[in-house]
Structure formats: C-alpha cells, structure tokens
Amino acid sequence: MGEDTEPTDDAEPRSGGDGDSDQFADLTETDLRETFERADYVAEDDIVTTVLLALRLGKPLLVEGEPGAGKTELAKVLAEGLGEELVRLQCYEGLAAENALYEWNYTKQLLAVQASESGVTEGSDAAGDGSTVADESSVFSEEFLLERPLLRALRAGGDAPPVLLIDEVDRADEEFEALLLEVLSDFQVSVPELGTVRAPTPPVVVITSNRTRALSDALKRRCLYLYVEPPTFEKEREIVRRKVPELDAAVAAELCGVTRRLREEPLLKRPGVAETLDLARGVAALGADRDGGLSRSELRTLLGTVLKEAEDVERVSDDLLDDLVAAASEAREAVAESDGGEPTGRTEGDADDPT
C-alpha cells in the first residue's frame, strides 16, 4: 500500500460525494422489500431497514450470525435484485494481498522481457497473445495486471456498481482486516507501479462473519451492523415453503420441527437454515407426495442432509430418533390446527417403526 493512502483510524467511508449514495436516494423500503419478495428471501423489518440505510449512506454492511443463517444469500439477492454484478471474495486463513487485490502476471512478464532482450522489436507479439511490448518498463502496465476481487470491484464502477461480497471475514487473519481498511475507508487502493486506483462509484459492500473470532473495532466502525438472529419456527417454515414449493405445508412444518429439536442437542455443528433446506430438498427428491408423517427409517437415511459431522451422526440414538419423530408430528399437528384444518400425520403404529 502506498503511504499516500494510509487510512487513519477515524476515517469515514467515501460515498457519492456528499456522504450519501445518490444512486439509491430514491430507493424506498417498499422497493427493497419487493426485491426480497421476488427472490423469496424472508426479511424482517430490521434486515430491510439496515440494508436500506447501508445503500443510502454508501457504507459497508457487516452481517454476523450463525452458519447457514442466510448471510451470503443476502448479498446474492441484493446483486440480483439491483441488477448488479456480484464480486465475491471468499476469505480463508492466510489470505494475502495478492489473492485479494491484484498480482502481476509473472509468466507473461518474463516472456515479454526475454523477447525484448532477444531483440524483438516494438509492435511484435512478444507475449504470444497478441499484445506488444516496447521495453522492460512496460511489463508493469495494465495488460500484465491480474485483477483480484477487491480491485475488480473498485474498477467495475459505473451506472451500476457491483455488489462486493467479502464472505466469512472471520476466517482471515487480523492482518487482512488491516488491508481492508483503506478499501472501506476511501474505496481506493494503491498500485505502486500504476498509482492510486479509486472507484468512480463505490461498490455495495457486504461483509459476512460467523463470529468464530472477534473483529477489530476499526473494521466495525466503517460498517453498519446487522446480526441475523436464528430463525423462529414460523420464519424457517416460510423459508422452506418458498424455496421448496413442491412440499406441502404439513411436511415443511415436520422438517422444521426436526431441525429445531436437533438444535437442542450439543452437536459439533448445529444445523442452520441451509441444512433445513437440504433436508427439505432431500424429502422432495425422494417423493413429496405423502399423507403420513416422517418415519424413523426415513429420518435415519436423511441425517446426512442436516448433520455434517460424523460424531453428530453417531450421536443420533434410537431414543433421539423417537424424539425427532415426535417433534415432527407435533409441528405438523400444530400447523394443521393453526391453519384451521384437521391434524394429519402418522398413526400410532408409524411412531413405533422398529428400524
């Protein structure tokens, strides 16, 4: 990073000139809610309001919550709903600047330099791909630059700037957070050979975290904050209904009852909404038309859709399976009663499935 762009600790994010994002000045809460509705994303008032403020103020949005809560999906829905490109940076331990910002195409540079030293004249195809090289200094030009997600998002501005998703930032090292400060403070990065690259229009930035470690105060100050609460039973059932419409309401309720009961166990990895959807899609793939409820044998074969650790699968004893069947039945009956219908489900003999 160049010294001229070193961010101060109290730096404010740069927006569309006056501190607000002119692009979203006319965006209303109703418009945003309709965007979520079209994408079948179930968003409560706090999600809609916080996202709207982030868009209007031109500030990054930091979204924290348990794995599988729909944090990444939020950024995807925004990109799709706003008609913008999604640029995703998946974070991991050891993530370095060259993987997040840019790096030089060293192979192409080497070929160009070797060709120049061999007397290749200006205007010839030195790199072998139709490009030309005049001298060695030109190997640090645009044609040799490999854009990585952060730089790509800054340079892709225009009438419709992209949505930059920095996913699972808590997986990266604290040093990477320091790298983000310049980007999030001024929406610019320094390329020593080319100068400072500034975004003509700041991207929409969504940062997600599973809270596996605490993030720095400096990073948090540059963002608006949203914590995605674990879904209620009704919200999760609505998500399943929208994402897997081939399942009827009673089956969707059963599956949500199963995952809700599993979350009460001391599992290594508790199932999130993503796992509930996997379970729902699994049931749908095996046959969505059913009059009775889930059986122990069905649940046993479907455990791999909701439990992703061997120790968790082994923890599911026959007694726990009975509890899961009972939870599914109770959820099914509760939904049937609330919908004004007759409770439907298994017979008493189904609950005693010996498998």
From CA 112, how far away is CA 127, in angstroms rounded? Answer: 5
Asked which of 147, 166, 183 is the last residue of a domain, the reply is 147
From CA 81, how far away is CA 31, in angstroms rounded? Answer: 10
pLDDT band at 263 (very low <50, low <70, confident <90, very high): very high
Same domain for 260 and 217?
A: no
Same domain for 143 and 34?
A: no
pLDDT band at 19 (very low <50, low <70, confident <90, very high): low
pLDDT of residue 286: 86
Rg over alpha carbons for the chain, rounded to the nearest Å, is 26
Q: 244: alpha, beta or left, given left = phi > 0 and alpha = psi -120 to 50? A: beta
- Looking at per-residue pLDDT, the higher value among 234 and 122 belongs to 234
Same domain for 84 and 207?
A: yes
pLDDT of residue 208: 97
pTM of the model: 0.79
| Span of 5-19, 80-94, 126-140, 177-191 with lowest mean pLDDT | 5-19
Residues 6+ apart with CB under 8 A from 21: 15, 55, 56, 57, 58, 202
- Looking at per-residue pLDDT, the higher value among 242 and 295 belongs to 242
Same domain for 21 and 168?
A: yes
Same domain for 211 and 262?
A: no
| Mean pLDDT (whole number) for 56-84 | 93
Q: What tokens were used for 46?
A: 């706090």
The tens digit of pLDDT for each residue in 313-328 reads: 999 999 999 999 999 9
Q: Are 193 and 8 in contact (CB under 8 A)?
A: no
The 10 Å Cβ neighbour count of residue 37 is 13
| Mean pLDDT (whole number) for 192-197 | 84
The tens digit of pLDDT for each residue in 208-226 reads: 999 999 999 999 999 999 9
From CA 46, how far away is CA 209, in angstroms rounded? Answer: 18
Same domain for 68 and 188?
A: yes
Same domain for 70 and 86?
A: yes
pLDDT, the chain, mean:
83
Strand 188-191 relative to strand 195-198, pairing: antiparallel
Asked which of 83, 112, 147 is the last residue of a domain, the reply is 147
Q: Are 160 and 82 in contact (CB under 8 A)?
A: yes
Burial class (CB in 10 A: 0-12, 13-18, 19+), 56: middle
Same domain for 79 and 194?
A: yes
Same domain for 76 and 138?
A: no
Closest of 249, 161, 251 to residue 203, by C-alpha: 161
Share of the chain above pLDDT 90, in %: 54
pLDDT at residue 159 tops 80: no
Q: For residue 239, what are the CA distances in angstroms to 234, 289, 303?
A: 9, 19, 20
Same domain for 342 and 276?
A: yes
Same domain for 92 and 215?
A: yes
Helix (H, G, I), strand (E, B) or coil at 248: coil
- The total domain count for the chain is 3
63-95 burial code (b ≥16 CB/10 A, e <16)? bbbbbbbbbbbbbbbbbebbebebbbbebeeeb
Asked which of 147, 165, 180 is the last residue of a domain, the reply is 147
Same domain for 254 and 330?
A: yes
pLDDT of residue 7: 41
Instruction: List the beta bridge partners of residue 146.
Output: 103
pLDDT of residue 31: 95
Structural domain including 134 reads: 102-147
The tens digit of pLDDT for each residue in 89-122 reads: 999 999 988 899 988 888 888 888 888 777 654 4
Q: What tokens were used for 74?
A: 């939020």
CATH number at residue 178: 3.40.50.300
Q: What backbone phi and psi angles, to 5 degrees, belong to 197? A: -105, 115
pLDDT at residue 8 tops 60: no
Closest of 300, 294, 293, 295 to residue 317, by C-alpha: 300
HEC string of 88-113? EEECCCCCCHHHHCEEECHHHHHHHH
